[in-house]
A and B are shown apart, each in its own frame.
Chain A
Amino acid sequence: MTALERLQNNRNALGMLFMLPAAVMLLLFLTYPLGLGTWLGFTDAKVGRPGVWVGLENYEFLWNDAVTRLALFNTLFYTVVASVIKFVLGLWLALLLNRNIRFKTFFRAVILLPYIVPTALSAIAFWWIYDAQFSIISWMLVKMGFIDKYIDFLGNPWNARLSTIGANIRRGVPFVAITLLAGLQTISPSLYEAGAIDGATGWQRFWNITLPLVMPATTTVVILSLIGGLRSFDLIWAMTRGGPGFTSDVIASVIYKQYQAGFYGLSTAGNVVLFVVVSIIIVPLSLFLNRRTTEA
């Protein structure tokens, strides 16, 4: 028996071997950098110079830094508002599509479109829709007589925050709608019939049949939407670069700016903060939602 044949017959060793490539990649490019990054966050490493241990100095700096605090607020605001609106709109669309309306296929295809086009395209389209001089939204509102002056969508802090949220919602709704639709389609129509016989109103049927049974899909959507929101970078970067000033910066864009400026220690400390924020929100929530799901 050659070594190869012996290996082929040893199922445990073979199982390990099957997982080896994946394990190596995850360890090498995710886990090890995370560990190294955590260490780096305690040093004052800059571009071209290995760092010296500075303890919690980077975290103290981030804690006292007005830009970072604002970015943390923006990240949470952006994530919560966008996720809530995405969920409500997505559920509404899914419920519509689940009924037998006309042009269903066309409609589903149109909804899917923003998911497929590059973020860059969405970003540029929005950058333009929100343009101070050429905005189509302003143009329409002026023509309809609602406003007399063009809105500066990206030029002032609150407008910039809300505009980026709008862009995120448009990009995220397809995923929410289609996932919830898949959940809705697993609900047996006989349940609704039984509910109708028992005299349940439309609202009661929605609350007591639809919502509990669509829970697994909801869990997926909520968790992924929150993770995506907390880590979001590309849309915001392409649209505002965190501007005007630093008012629409999120944690991920602050990390990128510090990285670009060469403050590696500070940048990785920011990354650790982001990891902690994501974990604090996602881990308990996913445990909670999964328990609800299995009970339901």
Chain B
Amino acid sequence: MKRRTRDIVAGVVAILVSIVVFLVPFAFIVINALKDVRESSDRSFALPTTWHLWDNLVEVLSTRDYMLVTAFINSIILTVGSVTLLVVFGAMVGFVLQRRPSRWTNIINFFVLAGLIIPPAVVPTIWVLQGLGLFKTLHGMILIEVAYGLSFSVLLFRAFIATVPRELDEAAIIDGAGPIKLFFGIVLPLLRPVVVTLIVTQSVAIFNDFTNPLYYLPGNKNVTLQLTLFNFQSQFNTSYNLLFMNILLITIPPLIVYIFFNRQIVAGLTAGAVKG
């Protein structure tokens, strides 16, 4: 009986604390996104006296010639493009590293780990992009995101491919499958759970990335959603309702992913936990 009470108390305390710490700031932003300019300038927690969902929405969207809409499209292209390449390239390297160990394997493993640690050298990277004619373009940005995310992707795939029985490969080879067919036809479909995990976690990370677009995508043409916020921050300095509406809009896509793919996000987070 005593233990039971203690468990309930602990649970209630934990829930209260997590609500205050995790949900209050979010509620704050939602409430203030729905107010008019005057009310939002108080920045209080009170509910709005008049609701302005639609007005605020339209005003934010139409600011600077519908910059937010452009940014939305850019962010989607960036995310989809990068994640696709990350999955395909990561799976290919993970497959070779796991299935065909050679004297190169250790060197490659070292490079993969180094990829996690090396802080991006911004100026030379910009030179490389300029040399390729890709600076300030979405293509260049996609390549950068892929390069920065590849190590994690390779590690995830390598660990998972280790659990796919080798006999399966051999059976397929006896049946006359070439290496390319073996990989794309047999192994890749089996990797579906880890592919989903990777897609979900990397989509969220790239969609939310602020630092890299700040460096490699300056200017208004290829602005991403995260950058709009900082473009707008000065402009909406006095109209907090619009600033918060903007924040709310750019938070919606990750929230949708969160609602539907909760489980995969957890799986992605914990991928490294069990194997180390």
Contact = CB atoms under 8 A, between A and B. Distances in A.
Nearest to B122: A259
B226 interface: yes
A115 B25 contact: no
Contacts of B18: 107, 110-111
Contacts of A193: none
B51 interface: no
Contact of B276 (A120, A219, A278): A219
A25 B23 contact: no
26 contacts: A9-B178, A12-B100, A21-B89, A29-B128, A29-B144, A29-B147, A30-B114, A31-B111, A32-B128, A33-B121, A36-B127, A99-B7, A103-B15, A107-B14, A116-B204, A117-B255, A120-B226, A134-B42, A179-B270, A217-B270, A217-B274, A217-B276, A234-B210, A267-B122, A271-B120, A293-B276
A112 B26 contact: no
Contacts of B276: 215-217, 219-220, 290, 293
B269 A124 contact: no
- Size category of the B interface is 35 or more
Contacts, number: 248
Interface stretch (B63-71, B190-198, B257-265): B257-265
A215 B183 CA distance: 34
A33 B124 contact: yes
Contact of A118 (B45, B114, B147, B251): B251
A231 B118 CA distance: 10
B210 A26 contact: no
Interface string B1-34: 0000001101100110011011111101100000
A275 B208 contact: no
Interface string A180-214: 11110010000000000000000000000000000
Contacts of A106: 15
A101 B154 CA distance: 36
A23 to B, nearest CB: 8
A146 interface: no
A136 interface: yes
Interface residues on A, range: 35 or more
A220 B250 CA distance: 30
B230 to A, nearest CB: 8
A136 B262 CA distance: 30
Which has the most chain B C-beta neighbours within 10 Å: A15, A136, A180, A259? A15
A70 to B, nearest CB: 19
B47 interface: no
B39 to A, nearest CB: 13
| Top-6 shortest CB links A-B | A37-B121, A216-B276, A182-B270, A29-B147, A36-B124, A125-B25
A110 B128 contact: no
B117 A282 contact: yes
B273 interface: yes
A220 B8 contact: no
A108 B266 CA distance: 10
B15 A19 contact: no
Given A40-B123, A112-B266, A115-B265, A19 B108 contact: yes
Nearest to B258: A116
A112 to B, nearest CB: 6
A195 B11 CA distance: 25
A101 B14 contact: yes
A271 B117 CA distance: 12
Contacts of A26: 111, 115, 147, 150-151
Contacts of A159: none
B147 A259 contact: no
Contacts of B127: 33, 36
B3 to A, nearest CB: 10
Interface string B185-221: 0000000000000000000100110110001000000
A85 interface: no
Contact of B21 (A115, A170, A259): A170
Given A18-B183, A220-B276, 6 more contacts: A37-B124, A101-B14, A124-B243, A136-B28, A182-B270, A278-B117
